[in-house]
Structure 1
Amino acid sequence: MNNPSAPQLRIQDQVVLVTGAARGLGQHIARAFLDQGARVVINYLHSEAAAAKLVAEAPERALAIGADVCDAAAVRDMLEQAQAHFGLPVTTVVNNALPDFKFNGDARAHAADLRWESLQQQFDGVVKGALNTVQAALPGMCAQGWGRVINIGTNLFQNPVVPYHDYTAAKAALLSLTRTLAQDLGPGGITVNMVSGGLLRTTDASAATPEAVFDLIAASTPLRRVTTPEEFADAVLFFASPWSRAVTGQNLVVDGGLVKN
């Protein structure tokens, strides 16, 4: 059972896995953890050169490993490599990996054209990928009596201003998994939370977004600007820090106040 008096791991004492960390939002999240002194596993699928460049920023604390998060055996091997390299198990998992997707509303699949294969691709990458990483990390978390799972969501299932059916459905399922895992794993000292953003200015995925859309979103937020990847990464750090020790099963929306949770 969870011991409320057990020491909380500071970020600089953690081994953190960030999936899809070589580029886009994942790169910003990985860099935020490195800036706080954590040891970080930079997972990538195709972006080997970008991952190596990120490792070069903190070579003593960063490790790049290529693995498809949809492949449970590859994920288990990745965590074993990380433990052998750092001498400690991964106890913080950030599920950020996203199947190929571009936030271009003009090119999205409309209801009449939507194919189940597109939904399946997103469910496999988002939900199956998260399940694989959590299951692979559980032995190390249980051995430590402590763990943090942080899933990356979206505000689109609360405010589907652009109906990206496949992407949004997968992220909504991930929120459900976040809450059920929080209930299941809480007695072991493991928290599971989600951080949900809107359109970010700018990542690889949002690069296809027309400038007029960025301007419209900025005008609709109380802060009158579009959230940056660096600002989003700050919220991820909160859920990994001791400050969040009593928070689990939650979805924090980080979008400048566009969506009120």
Structure 2
Amino acid sequence: MTEQQIQRALELNEQVVLITGGARGLGAALSRAFAAQGAQVIVNYHKSEEAAHALVAELGADRAFAIGADVTDRQSVDQLFSAARAHFGAPICTVVNNALIDFTFNGDARPTAETITWADFDAQLRGSVAGALNTTQAAIDGMRTLNFGRIITVGTNLVQNPVVPYHDYTAAKAALLALTRTLSADLGPDGVTVNMISGGLLRTTDASAATPEAVFDIIAESTPLRKVTTPSEFADAALFFASPWSRAVTGQNLVVDGGLVKN
């Protein structure tokens, strides 16, 4: 097999892309970003059916397809992959693990070291780690047939800089970073790259809507760019990791927060 055959990287407009939690907030920005580049996009939702179908209507039914599934349930994920393949006639080759178990970034209301429970950790671990594991395992066979795959996980800069101690959320994202790196080692020979994008507080998503405006101002003043990163700016980094430009990049964690955290 030649190097060209081994390293053949699909252009964005050749890809079938799954965005988990793709109907609202950051997920919607990711869905729009990939659709704008000509990709065929599966807008996955769990509770946001109306928002998912509205987004598909916006993007165009020829470009996007809404599928409900709980990513923490492997059977539900398998059904999603089957429905997506039947709809687009090709396997999913790019997975963006964006889905987030219900969470609010409000430092005043967070569970503290004294009050947090293992159930809090378990919920976040299931959402971040089990969800990514389920989508990865469901995607592997299709990616191997293509000798190409892109798995992108969504992390947080709180792992590097836990300025607000969201214990459960940050621990789950740290575990997801470890999984990202170990998966990259396991799947690299199949032409599959696995990378993480770690954002800070984004202006604005459902999860960050409860954040006081003064906190956004403090973050903006602390970044070299003097601004808070938006969901669409974050989504640009996902396009890079999915594109042929990143064909030699895997197992990496790219912090996208305007330079607040140096990784």
2:13 maps to which residue? Answer: 12
Q: Secondary structure at the match of 1:111?
A: coil
Task: Supply the AA of the counterpart residue of 2:199.
Answer: G
Q: Secondary structure at the match of 2:165?
A: coil
In structure 1, distance between residues paired with 2:174 and 2:239: 22
Q: Secondary structure at the match of 2:66?
A: strand
Q: Can you list the C-alpha shifts for 1:76-100, whole angstroms capped at 9, x where unaligned?
A: 1100100000000001000000000
In structure 1, distance between residues paired with 2:9 and 2:116: 46
In structure 2, distance between residues paired with 1:135 and 1:30: 22
Within 5 Å, give how 1:177-256 maps onto structure 2: 177-256=179-258
In structure 2, distance between residues paired with 1:54 and 1:69: 20
Deviation at 1:121, TM superposition (A): 0.2
2:33 maps to which residue? Answer: 32
In structure 2, distance between residues paired with 1:94 and 1:252: 14
Deviation at 1:115, TM superposition (A): 0.4
Q: Can you list the C-alpha shifts for 1:5-48, whole angstroms capped at 9, x where unaligned?
A: 12210000000000000101011001100010100001000100
In structure 2, distance between residues paired with 1:156 and 1:196: 9
In structure 1, distance between residues paired with 2:232 and 2:72: 27
2:85 maps to which residue? Answer: 83
1:161 maps to which residue? Answer: 163
Within 5 Å, give how 1:26-175 maps onto structure 2: 26-57=27-58, 58-175=60-177
In structure 2, distance between residues paired with 1:203 and 1:70: 22
> TM-score, normalization: structure 2?
0.98
Deviation at 1:133, TM superposition (A): 0.2
> Percent sequence identity over matched residues?
68
In structure 1, distance between residues paired with 2:17 and 2:57: 17
In structure 1, distance between residues paired with 2:156 and 2:202: 11
Q: Secondary structure at the match of 2:4?
A: coil
Q: Secondary structure at the match of 1:68?
A: coil
In structure 1, distance between residues paired with 2:202 and 2:76: 30
Deviation at 1:4, TM superposition (A): 3.6
In structure 2, distance between residues paired with 1:8 and 1:148: 10
In structure 2, distance between residues paired with 1:180 and 1:207: 33
In structure 2, distance between residues paired with 1:80 and 1:121: 26
Deviation at 1:61, TM superposition (A): 1.3
Number of equivalences: 260
In structure 1, distance between residues paired with 2:44 and 2:129: 17
In structure 1, distance between residues paired with 2:111 and 2:204: 22
In structure 2, distance between residues paired with 1:29 and 1:54: 11
Q: Secondary structure at the match of 1:208?
A: coil
In structure 1, distance between residues paired with 2:78 and 2:131: 12
State the 4+ residue runs in structure 1 displaced beyond 6 angstroms: none
Gaps of 5+ in 1: none
In structure 2, distance between residues paired with 1:142 and 1:4: 16
Gaps of 5+ in 2: none
Q: Secondary structure at the match of 1:258?
A: coil
In structure 2, distance between residues paired with 1:8 and 1:119: 37
